Amino acid sequence: MEKFVDEKKIERIIRQHADMIYRIAFQNVKSKADAEDIFQDVCLSLITGNAPIDDALHIRNWLIRVTINKCNNFHKSFWNRNSEPLTETLEYFPPEQQELLSEIWKLPKNYRNIIYLYYYEGYKIAEIAELMNLNPNTVSSSLNRARRRLKIILTEGGFNYG
């Protein structure tokens, strides 16, 4: 039996969350082209999957979870493990964020996601734990470790961000 897809609702959801999906993908894979591919995969999952498109409260969380999962799959892929990454710029982000994001990239991937969701998307620790299927205490300790590492990176690098 064919599934009915509400194209207007899907289009509205994609327009509303496109920047967030792309930013999460880009900060995970560090490549504009790969982030665009992941963005397209997320959109396909939205159209063909069991996304909660009628639930405005859950669709954002669903999109974040799917985007992070697609990024994790990308990192595990044969292609990614056997290719040389291109040097990317951060032109997609505002100039005041570009330097800080390049420093955040020096953190391990799991710390980057937590930092990004906490500071850029405004999620609380409990919400991040639910999104990433982690214990809230794990998210809290990872956030604290990420902050400490980022502070070391920023102070040793000579940057002063306050």
Q: Among 63-77, 87-101, 105-119, which is the least confidently predicted range?
A: 87-101
Per cent of the chain over pLDDT 90 is 38
Q: Supply the DSSP symbol for 83.
A: S
Distance (Å, whole) CA 160 – CA 162: 6
**Quick one: pLDDT band at residue 12, thresholds 50, 70, 90?**
very high
Q: Which two tokens stand for residue 24?
A: 């999460």
| 107 or 162, which is more confident | 107
Q: Show the tokens assigned to 132.
A: 């990433």
Compute the distance between CA of residue 135 and CA of residue 143 in angstroms, rounded to an integer: 12
Its pTM surpasses 0.95: no
In the structure, what pLDDT confidence band is assigned to residue 83 with cuts at 50, 70 and 90? low
Q: Quick: pLDDT tens for 14-44.
A: 999 999 999 999 988 888 889 999 999 999 9
Phi, psi of 124 (to 5 degrees): -85, 165
